[in-house]
Amino acid sequence: MEFSFNIPTSIFFGRGAIQRNASALVLGSRAYIVTGKSSGRVSGALSDVERVLNTHSIPYEVFEGVGNNPEVEQCKELGAKARAFGADFIVGIGGGSPLDAAKAVAVFAANDVEPEVLFANKYEHILPIAAVATTSGTGSEATPWSVLTWHKIKTKMSFGALNSFPRVAFLDPSYTDSLPLNVTRDTAFDAFTHCFESVISMKASPMTDAVNFYALSRFGKLMEPLEKGELDGIRDELMLISLLGGIGIANTGTTLMHAMGYPLTYFKNVPHGRANAFVLPAYLAELKNNRPQRLNEALHALGVSYEALVAYVKRCYPFDVQAQKDELTLWAEQTVAKNPHKTTGTSNDAAHIWSLYEMLF
């Protein structure tokens, strides 16, 4: 048996996490805050962060404007602004998009380089990052990964290495209390797929299994309340599963489901978690052939059958994407470029991936 496992991020979980652990947020003497257009304010997280920085007399600048699917070009501009301000640490507040953007800003603030250097993980320095989660889905607060839109190659591209893990993460479920049902469902499915794919991944280890099987067994109990929209009692659970999924994929990466979902987000504006739900039936069909034993173990932990999971997804996330057959060709080529055969054992052949997409229509 041989494996490695890393989670160098200090984690503070629970309602009031920032207030109770305020000094852990202070990673330097000047802060640049990166957050979404409204998520930082609406969740209450931004005011909690500002209160701590003011109490510690830390000068800071705030950028409130990261949209969905952040663009690498925007992160480069923000990095230059953070550098001009003299920031020596970054605070990311948000769901996946602002947190992923914050990681890129932390790189660009410390290195005046082009996106090619970022995506090749060839940069030399990175500012320390404090990550504050305001959704339960991405797990980005506990991973080194950052997924960004790069128009030059017409899709999403990711970077990440051991040094791009946030130094510290705060997970306060109260920031998610006001999230609407559709966002809660979409992000919850993202968290679920991180746990599920991390089990399936050929990079899974006993350490990631311990995390992910536990998370799947807890998620199985949340499927019914999520479907019924009964969210009051499950916000803390959802954030825990998001964290566990993040720890899983920090060590295994994602697999074919994420790779197939990205083009739906890039070309059809389908929210990330929902895009994963849309491709799940094709992913499961593929796993039946390539990873049958792991598939059965994951379903067993979840406590649902193959058929019940597909039916659940079709009820909660009705497929509504229109596409021409030639569009599928480009999607398949982009999926193949992500090399999902290395993690799912699928055939890395565009015609085969094309047939998986076609199954969905």
DSSP-derived secondary structure letter, 62? E
Q: Indicate the helix (H) or strand (E) that contains 361.
A: none
Q: How far is the CB of 276 from Fe ion (least distance, A)?
A: 7
Nearer to Fe ion, 25 or 199 (CB): 199
Q: Give the N- to C-terminal CA distance of the chain in Å, as an integer.
A: 42
Greatest CA separation found in the chain? 59
Residue 64 CB, nearest approach to Fe ion (Å): 23
Nearer to Fe ion, 79 or 246 (CB): 246
Minimum CB separation of residue 203 from Fe ion in Å reads: 16
Residue 78's region, left for phi above 0, alpha for psi from -120 to 50, else beta, is alpha
Task: Please report which helix (H) or strand (E) contains residue 58, including its range.
Answer: none
For Fe ion, the closer of residues 54 and 339 by Cβ is 339
Nearest distance, CB of residue 9 and Fe ion, angstroms: 17
- The whole-angstrom separation of Cα 172 and Cα 240 is 10
In the complex with Fe ion, the residue whose CB is nearer, 111 or 208, is 208
Token pair, residue 72, equals 């690498």
Shortest spacing between CB 55 and Fe ion, in angstroms: 34
Q: Pairing mode, if any, of strands 10-13 and 168-171?
A: parallel
Smallest distance from Fe ion to CB 186, Å: 11
Closer Cβ to Fe ion, 79 or 340, answer by number: 340
Query: Which residues of this protein are in contact with Fe ion, per CB under 5 A?
Result: 190
Q: How far is CA 219 from the centre of its chain?
A: 17
Query: Which amino acid, 50?
Result: E
- Alpha carbon distance 296, 173 (integer Å): 31
The residue at minimum Cβ distance from Fe ion is 190
User: 190 vs 237, which CB is nearer to Fe ion?
Assistant: 190
Tokens 């193959």 sit on residue: 306
3-state secondary structure of 175: helix
